[in-house]
Chains A and B, each alone.
Chain A
Amino acid sequence: MSQPHSSSNAEQRPSKGGAVSDLAIELRGINKSFGPVRANRDIDLKVRRGTIHGIVGENGAGKSTLMSILYGFYTADSGEILVNGQPAHITDSRHALQLGIGMVHQHFMLVDNFSILENVILGAEDNALLASSLSKARKELKRLSDEYGLSVDPDAIVQDVSVGQQQRVEILKALYRGADTLILDEPTGVLTPEEADDLFRVLNVLRDQGKTVILITHKLREIMAITDFVSVMRQGQMVATMPTKDTSPEKLAELMVGRRVLLRVEKGSAHPGKPLLEVKNLVVADDLKVVRVKDVSFSVRAGEIVGIAGVAGNGQSELLESIAGMRDQLSGDVVLNGHVLSLEGDDGAHRARLAGLAHVPEDRQTEGLVVQFEEWENNILGYQHDPAYGRGLLDIAAARRQAEERMHKFDVRPANPRLKTANFSGGNQQKIVLAREMEQDPSVLIVGQPTRGVDIGAIEFIHNQIIKMRDAGKAILLVSVELDEIRSLSDRILVMFDGKIVGEADPATATEGELGLMMAGIGADGHAARSGAGAGPAHAVGGDQP
């Protein structure tokens, strides 16, 4: 992990031309209202040239609105934008680019079947003939790559290179267009720890070469590791800006939420019992018939949380879906409470539930919820056969009553079961799913990405609920791309790479580096695959340690 760069470093750098302001970007009294909703209120922000400036805040705090104003998507109602000390009226993103402001979006805007070179010049071609643009761009790309340590193969096709490389292409695109200030929106969400470190190295080089970087993230660890300054937004206001070295993650979290937040998950030691969920030699293919889960075996015991770490797209989704009965397995068995589940057919999820398995899916918007439904209708999703909701005819009154009780119990706001589900925030939607699945009193709970797109305040609640389930003797399988989450919740960690379990680790002792190596497919002890794939309790290590 990169060390925090001392801010004094930036101050020592001579500002070019003397007369030019040492502020790359200055925002003065920015206001943006959408009717009575004030998305940005009197925002002042100074971003010094040649620094990495982090902006943190919860969902809806106004970070994206602010960056959208800077990048020309919105126009501010009032306030001033100064770029390099000069007032600027940024009307669209093309204009922003002319002023040297480039943006790297969370979701890459690349043409998958174009080469890296072609992607870089896309929209910036000199003239109608491509060949001359390409050869010029090739030289320029080479220069940029060398200068900033962003090595890429210009002729590689984008879909063949890693996600980290694709992100480099996005950064190169911005630099190629002459960006001096780079805005990165949640850049590490899709990266392995290694790739994230690479990115941070690149950002450090960029900063040292005089570029300015604005980093939007919700990962406080990254803020601490890489930024020089950090600004915190809450409810449309800029509540603080300070040198990163003067603050701490706890303080930042408190500023973001407006109250004290427990960042560490507090849990007692696990007392695992007999295995409740056993997965044996599971092989699963995705929709394109590509085998994504390759002979995976493991078990989860009563009263323990087993976390599956891995970079997104290494077969975790297919594994979860298969265990939950949503995806047919090519071979292998899922054993619940000693009974082999028969999951084939497209109603396998129903049989899995009957056997005592509850499932919080990775994607609550398209799987776990029907967002067009009223809340109470989602409260029975998957359990609609339950006679408690009537026989044949729906007992709507009973379903609504139960939904409302659960909303109170899980602190879903507003606690109105007649409200359309799409109108709840991400955190509240996730609580609706959790309430439904946990209140079934299942013996096995499988959870995918429990806190994706969820506010810090709700994360705390969700984590505590999962621990509570564990302490009630349930077997819990957790899949998350947030390594921190896996490490703090799990009693045992399995690392998945390329469809295989490549290692097992004890969260109490494993370092992030070791896990990162395994997530990249390099076994901690040199053995790449199957080093931790053996099933059964005999193999389980470290489950009892806190």
Chain B
Amino acid sequence: MSARRPLPRWADVALLPVLNLVLALIVFSIFVLLIGQNPLQALAIMINGAFGYGEGVGFTLHFATSFVFTGLCVAVAAHAGLFNIGGEGQAYVASLGAIAVGFLMDHTVWWLVLPVAILASMAVGAAWAFIPGYLQAKRGSHVVITTIMFNFIASSLMAYLLVYVLKPVGVQEPSTANVVAAGKIPQLRQFFPWFGGAPLNMTIIFAILALIGVYILIWRTKFGYALRTLGHSPSASLYAGISNSRMIIIVMMISGALAGMVAVNEVLGVQSRIVIDVTAGYGFVGIAVALMGRNHPIGIALAAVLFGALYQGGLDLQFYMPAITRDMIVVIQALVIMFTGAMEGLLRPGLESAFMLYSPRQKADAVARETVGTES
């Protein structure tokens, strides 16, 4: 009989993720030692690469922008009790919306293109997420299964479109034509040369707006209230007269719309066209970002910066420490995702016990609560 007490909030949102991160770095250090390199030096290179100079910071924030969108995508669905794994596919397909606006409005000005492209990618992402949402709401097909499948469908569909439909004549690579004028979202380095060659662009403004917007949506609106009711207890939302099926469809569409914004950041912000796998796995990392950020916008912002730093620091590490190959970088990213995402509860029981030892009063409360609960 072990009574458990939930961790204090600060430990839950800050201490535990930090410990998980440290654990991931320790395991990574072992790998680095095994290939005969100095892990501390590797770590120093990574941190410096992510935050030590303007271009590094620019890259970190650029990656973080995409992670904010996919993290919010997962978080909004999670608050409604839905596990949307389809952010990757939703973002990928949404790139069609972004590029369409880029082409159609290439002759106008960027500050018109940016909001319209955002709306268009949101719409396409939402439409792609609508299908699994509808199937869950009306047919009971589990959204986890369908969104995974829709990632494959998205990937194949985009490959087909890029190879057979969208590729300009005479180009070898499967990609669309380039936007050349207003369709290119301005880079922040044009205003702040400090960012060097980093692809950080205006889309980051929408990432910040999305963080604020999601906070208001979830905790300050009646819609968010209904959404959270559904997420905690579908039977209570039925009791409250909330249409669960309608909510599921709408929430999936909002979730898909958030993922869709990644497309603007990558397609119009970096590539100026759609290339194969333009979304580069951001959708999947978004799951870890949301988990680590506890589905809260502030947590997601921090987690997104962390993962951005990992991506960018990894690139620098690869460059300055040739013994550490591209594969090793993937290993560290995978370790962080594993420890902060999939195994985020690993240290929780130990930490809870530690807190109870530290504070017997809290232990008493916990035990009392549990015994009252079992009293019949």
Point out residues on A near B: beta carbons under 8 Å: 34-37, 39, 59-61, 63-65, 73-74, 106, 185-186, 324-326, 345-353, 359, 361, 363, 366-373, 377, 380-382, 384-385, 389-390, 392-394, 396, 423, 425, 453
Q: Once bound together, how far apart are the Cα atoms of A371 and B228, in whole Å? A: 12
Find out whether the CB atom of B360 lies under 8 angstroms from the CB atom of A350.
Answer: no
Find out whether the CB atom of A34 lies under 8 angstroms from the CB atom of B222.
Answer: no
CB-nearest residue of chain B to A361: B239
Most chain B CB inside 10 Å of its own CB: which residue of A35, A359, A369, A394: A35
Count of chain A to chain B residue pairs whose CB atoms are closer than 8 Å in the complex: 122
List 13 additional A-B contacts (Cβ < 8 Å) besides A34-B364, A64-B376, A370-B229.
A34-B3, A59-B376, A64-B375, A106-B376, A346-B246, A347-B246, A349-B239, A351-B241, A367-B239, A373-B232, A382-B239, A382-B241, A384-B226
B216 to chain A: which residues have CB within 8 Å? 393
A363 to chain B: which residues have CB within 8 Å? 235
Find out whether the CB atom of A35 lies under 8 angstroms from the CB atom of B242.
Answer: no
Q: Once bound together, how far apart are the Cα atoms of A123 and B371, in whole Å? A: 27
B235 to chain A: which residues have CB within 8 Å? 363, 366-367
Given contacts A185-B376, A367-B236, A384-B222, contact A325 B371 (CB under 8 A): no
User: Is chain B's interface secondary structure helix, strand, loop, or mixed overall?
Assistant: helix
Find out whether the CB atom of A60 lies under 8 angstroms from the CB atom of B375.
Answer: yes
Q: Once bound together, how far apart are the Cα atoms of A359 and B241, in whole Å? A: 11
B361 to chain A: which residues have CB within 8 Å? 35-36
Contact of B221 among A37, A368, A372, A394 (CB under 8 A): A394
Taking the closest CB of chain B, its distance from the CB of A216, in whole angstroms, is 8
CB-nearest residue of chain A to B372: A60
Q: List 27 A-B contacts (CB under 8 A).
A: A35-B361, A35-B367, A35-B368, A36-B361, A37-B367, A64-B374, A65-B375, A346-B245, A346-B246, A347-B241, A348-B241, A351-B241, A366-B233, A366-B236, A367-B236, A367-B239, A370-B233, A370-B236, A371-B232, A372-B232, A373-B232, A382-B239, A390-B222, A392-B222, A394-B222, A425-B372, A453-B376
- The answer, yes or no, to whether B173 is at the interface (CB within 8 Å) is no
Q: Once bound together, how far apart are the Cα atoms of A351 and B240, in whole Å? A: 10
CB-nearest residue of chain B to A373: B232
Find out whether the CB atom of A349 lies under 8 angstroms from the CB atom of B375.
Answer: no
CB-nearest residue of chain A to B234: A366
Q: Once bound together, how far apart are the Cα atoms of A402 and B360, in whole Å? A: 36
CB-nearest residue of chain A to B216: A393
Find out whether the CB atom of A370 lies under 8 angstroms from the CB atom of B238.
Answer: no
Find out whether the CB atom of B240 lies under 8 angstroms from the CB atom of A381.
Answer: yes
Find out whether the CB atom of B376 lies under 8 angstroms from the CB atom of A349.
Answer: no
B239-261 residues at the A interface, CB under 8 angstroms: 239-246
Bits for B212-232, please: 1 = Cβ < 8 Å to A, else 0.
000010001111111011001
Taking the closest CB of chain B, its distance from the CB of A57, in whole angstroms, is 9
CB-nearest residue of chain A to B368: A37
Taking the closest CB of chain A, its distance from the CB of B108, in whole angstroms, is 33
Taking the closest CB of chain B, its distance from the CB of A394, in whole angstroms, is 6
Taking the closest CB of chain A, its distance from the CB of B233, in whole angstroms, is 5
Given contacts A34-B364, A37-B367, contact A349 B372 (CB under 8 A): no
CB-nearest residue of chain B to A57: B375
- The answer, yes or no, to whether B1 is at the interface (CB within 8 Å) is yes
B347-364 residues at the A interface, CB under 8 angstroms: 360-361, 363-364
Q: Once bound together, how far apart are the Cα atoms of A241 and B16, in whole Å? A: 51
B367 to chain A: which residues have CB within 8 Å? 34-35, 37
Taking the closest CB of chain B, its distance from the CB of A64, in whole angstroms, is 5
Find out whether the CB atom of B229 lies under 8 angstroms from the CB atom of A381.
Answer: yes
Find out whether the CB atom of A359 lies under 8 angstroms from the CB atom of B239.
Answer: yes
- The answer, yes or no, to whether B365 is at the interface (CB within 8 Å) is yes
CB-nearest residue of chain B to A63: B375
A372 to chain B: which residues have CB within 8 Å? 232
A361 to chain B: which residues have CB within 8 Å? 239
Contact of B375 among A59, A350, A385, A394 (CB under 8 A): A59
Find out whether the CB atom of A394 lies under 8 angstroms from the CB atom of B225.
Answer: yes
Find out whether the CB atom of B222 lies under 8 angstroms from the CB atom of A393.
Answer: yes
B375 to chain A: which residues have CB within 8 Å? 59-61, 63-65
Most chain A CB inside 10 Å of its own CB: which residue of B223, B235, B240, B376: B240
Find out whether the CB atom of B1 lies under 8 angstroms from the CB atom of A74.
Answer: yes
- 10 closest A-B pairs by beta carbon, nearest first, are A35-B364, A350-B241, A34-B367, A349-B241, A347-B243, A37-B368, A382-B240, A367-B239, A64-B375, A370-B232
Q: Once bound together, how far apart are the Cα atoms of A192 and B321, in whole Å? A: 78
B363 to chain A: which residues have CB within 8 Å? 35
Taking the closest CB of chain B, its distance from the CB of A456, in whole angstroms, is 14
Taking the closest CB of chain A, its distance from the CB of B217, in whole angstroms, is 10
Find out whether the CB atom of B241 lies under 8 angstroms from the CB atom of A392.
Answer: no
Q: Once bound together, how far apart are the Cα atoms of A348 and B223, in whole Å? A: 18
Contact of B365 among A35, A349, A425 (CB under 8 A): A35
Given contacts A73-B1, A106-B376, A185-B376, contact A346 B371 (CB under 8 A): no
Find out whether the CB atom of A384 lies under 8 angstroms from the CB atom of B372.
Answer: no
B239 to chain A: which residues have CB within 8 Å? 324, 326, 349, 359, 361, 367-368, 381-382
Q: Once bound together, how far apart are the Cα atoms of A368 and B368, in whole Å? A: 25
A373 to chain B: which residues have CB within 8 Å? 228-229, 232
CB-nearest residue of chain B to A325: B241
Taking the closest CB of chain A, its distance from the CB of B295, in whole angstroms, is 13
B360 to chain A: which residues have CB within 8 Å? 35
Taking the closest CB of chain B, its distance from the CB of A56, in whole angstroms, is 13
Q: Once bound together, how far apart are the Cα atoms of A513 and B225, in whole Å? A: 48
Find out whether the CB atom of A345 lies under 8 angstroms from the CB atom of B243.
Answer: yes
Q: Once bound together, how far apart are the Cα atoms of A186 and B374, in whole Å? A: 13
B244 to chain A: which residues have CB within 8 Å? 346
Taking the closest CB of chain B, its distance from the CB of A400, in whole angstroms, is 13
Taking the closest CB of chain B, its distance from the CB of A513, in whole angstroms, is 28
Q: Once bound together, how far apart are the Cα atoms of A425 and B172, in whole Å? A: 70
A369 to chain B: which residues have CB within 8 Å? 236
Q: Once bound together, how far apart are the Cα atoms of A65 and B371, in whole Å? A: 7
A73 to chain B: which residues have CB within 8 Å? 1
Q: Once bound together, how far apart are the Cα atoms of A367 and B361, in whole Å? A: 33
Q: Once bound together, how far apart are the Cα atoms of A73 and B240, in whole Å? A: 39
A377 to chain B: which residues have CB within 8 Å? 225
Taking the closest CB of chain B, its distance from the CB of A419, in whole angstroms, is 13
Q: Once bound together, how far apart are the Cα atoms of A326 and B243, in whole Å? A: 10
Find out whether the CB atom of B1 lies under 8 angstroms from the CB atom of A368.
Answer: no
Contact of B240 among A63, A64, A349 (CB under 8 A): A349
Given contacts A65-B371, A351-B241, A353-B241, contact A36 B364 (CB under 8 A): yes
Taking the closest CB of chain A, its distance from the CB of B54, in whole angstroms, is 40
A185 to chain B: which residues have CB within 8 Å? 376
Find out whether the CB atom of B368 lies under 8 angstroms from the CB atom of A389.
Answer: no
Q: Once bound together, how far apart are the Cα atoms of A369 and B229, in whole Å? A: 9
Given contacts A63-B375, A367-B235, contact A393 B364 (CB under 8 A): no
B242 to chain A: which residues have CB within 8 Å? 347, 350, 384
CB-nearest residue of chain A to B365: A35
Given contacts A35-B368, A370-B233, A394-B225, contact A384 B376 (CB under 8 A): no
Q: Once bound together, how far apart are the Cα atoms of A73 and B245, in whole Å? A: 44
CB-nearest residue of chain B to A105: B376
